[in-house]
């Protein structure tokens, strides 16, 4: 029986991940790292109130088998450039480094389609830089999820994203061949794919949207 580490349980993908991990009999314990304590009543779940500005204080708690990382922000929620960089780049890198030092076997990370450390935009560049760091740490299993537009009910309103999703849904039948990775994908499938990647030792590291659909079915 395994122990899962979950960062980002309140988000679109993280919420599905928490539910699926609770239902999965391979996991005896789920450590959920949060800033504010949620109302979760399940014997498998251990809530860890986390100071994300001082992650070294949590080294003894970031121990387990599979680490699932779904934390992210937007420039609207984090308008300060330094804070945006901290959430999107510094925090995932630090957690991955601690997890590796504690011999965590698997690291599953929600990145983005077209992530690239050389991209001129902060979002895709930071995602790409985290990907490079994760590869260098040599986890036994590494799963980098690169979903396109995410489908699901967000707690916050993102008008621009909703417009983009509508457009991509209309164009979806045209996304064939190399364009398949641009199809919108449901957040629940991303969560399922992360668990599958952690358990099945798939001979693959990068999972585009079409790959995520395949392994989550």
Token representation of residue 175: 């996304």
What is the per-residue pLDDT for 118? 95
Q: How many helices (H) and strands (E) does the chain have?
A: 7, 9
Q: What is the pLDDT of residue 156?
A: 56
- pLDDT, residue 216, reads 82
Q: 124 by DSSP, 3-state: which?
A: helix
- Whether residue 8 contacts residue 87, with contact meaning beta carbons closer than 8 Å, is answered with no
Domain that holds residue 18: 2-216
Query: What's the structural domain count of the chain?
Result: 1
Q: Which residues pair with 112 in a beta bridge?
A: none
> Which has the closest alpha carbon to 46: 85, 1, 6?
6
The closest alpha carbon to 93, from 120, 117, 119, 77, belongs to: 117
CB contact set of 93 (below 8 Å; sequence gap of 6+) = 129, 130, 133
pLDDT for position 180: 58
CATH of the domain at 183: 3.40.50.720
Cα(217)–Cα(76) distance, rounded to whole angstroms?
A: 34
Residue 183 phi, psi dihedral angles, 5° rounding: -65, 140
Q: 143 with 201: CB under 8 angstroms?
A: no
pLDDT per residue over 155-191, tens digit each? 555 555 555 556 545 555 655 555 556 677 889 999 9
* Predicted pLDDT at 148: 84
Block means of pLDDT (10 residues each) for the chain, length 217 residues?
95 94 96 89 94 96 98 85 94 98 97 93 95 96 91 58 56 56 82 92 86 85
Distance CA 72, CA 159 (A): 18
């Amino acid at each position: 029986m395994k122990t899962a580490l979950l960062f980002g349980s309140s988000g679109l993908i993280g919420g599905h991940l928490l539910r699926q991990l609770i239902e999965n009999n391979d996991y005896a314990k789920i450590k959920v790292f949060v800033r504010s304590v949620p109302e979760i009543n399940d014997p498998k779940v251990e809530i860890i109130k986390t100071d994300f500005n001082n992650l070294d204080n949590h080294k003894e708690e970031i121990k387990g088998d599979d680490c699932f990382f779904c934390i992210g922000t937007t420039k609207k929620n984090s308008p300060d450039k330094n804070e945006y960089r901290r959430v999107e780049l510094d925090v995932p890198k630090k957690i991955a480094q601690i997890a590796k030092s504690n011999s965590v076997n698997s690291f599953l990370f929600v990145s983005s389609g077209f992530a690239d450390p050389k991209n001129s935009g902060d979002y895709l560049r930071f995602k790409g830089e985290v990907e490079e760091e994760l590869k260098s740490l040599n986890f036994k299993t590494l799963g980098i999820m690169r979903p396109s537009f995410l489908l699901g009910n967000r707690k916050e309103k993102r008008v621009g994203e909703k417009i983009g999703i509508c457009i991509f849904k209309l164009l979806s039948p045209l996304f064939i061949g190399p364009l398949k990775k641009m199809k919108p994908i449901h957040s629940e499938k991303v969560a399922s794919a992360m668990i599958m990647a952690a358990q099945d030792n798939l001979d693959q590291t990068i999972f585009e949207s079409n790959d995520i659909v395949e392994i989550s079915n």
